[in-house]
Structure 1
């Protein structure tokens, strides 16, 4: 699994036969969160997330069905990480290179474009940040003011 991101709710997926991406929904569990400071939105996606598991359940027009509307249904996932299992639903975590099978598109026709993970720095991350590096990365914010109330008004 070296350096592969885990997939979470909100991951952007695309079918190779569709025209638009769709967003993954985790419907199999409500307990395990990844890279989510408040534990409220980044549910871990597993190979048990099958069926109609997307926001719109459509990847636009389907080239396999002569450009008729796609109805996305996942029958199985491949490329999941078998050394990390969430119970329930007894599912193995999906990785950035996992692929899904659709009965119309065939094996591994759905891939993950973005895992859904977004970095959320905490107060302790900001306190430990290198001041000079941060001045180059984000020149708008003076990291040395991280202890002031004004700094946290902006969500940091």
Structure 2
């Protein structure tokens, strides 16, 4: 992997002892958003997001508990980004290669399999786009002056 990305709410995590993934939920701060044009849902995850910090709060059946239902409690994160500290919670941002320790397993058994970020194209992206390049990439799309893309079927 050439780049390591920051992690945000909505990241998908899995435990090496579980049978199903779960979605990370940021509960330690509510001001710092990443990869979210309208700043509504993609809160930055930090190493302070410990405890019960998943949407379903289960990774399915747990091999460490004789295949009983998993109820993860994160005790710590490791391999987070050390060079930034959020003022809101004194947290260091999680990276997609960060790992979490569960109180049941006692080891860093939870990994991030999707960082939660998604590619969004906004009106500003369209306004900044070069119409000539867009025409080469996608010949059926025409950009009008206010930046809204119009799909046009060429005459055949």
Q: Give the TM-score normalised by the residue count of structure 2.
A: 0.86
Unaligned 5+ runs, structure 1: 152-156
SS of alignment partner, residue 112 of structure 1: strand
CA contact (8 A) 1:134 1:143 kept: no
Aligned residue in 2 for 1:68: 68
**2:57 aligned with 1:57:** yes
Counterpart secondary structure, 2:53 = coil
Q: Distance in 1 between matches of 2:149 and 2:37?
A: 21
Question: Structure 1 residues 69 and 143 mapped into 2: Cα distance closer, same or farther (>3 Å)?
Answer: farther
Q: Which has the larger radius of gyration?
A: 2
Residues 18-57 of structure 1: matches in 2 within 5 Å? 18-57=18-57
The answer for the alignment partner of 1:144 in structure 2 is 143
- State the 1:62 CA deviation: 0.2
Instruction: Say what the alpha-carbon RMSD is for the aligned residues.
Output: 1.9
Query: 4+ residue stretches of structure 1 with deviation over 3 A?
Result: 145-151
> Which structure has greater helix proportion?
1
Pair 1:133–1:31, CA change in 2 (3 A): farther
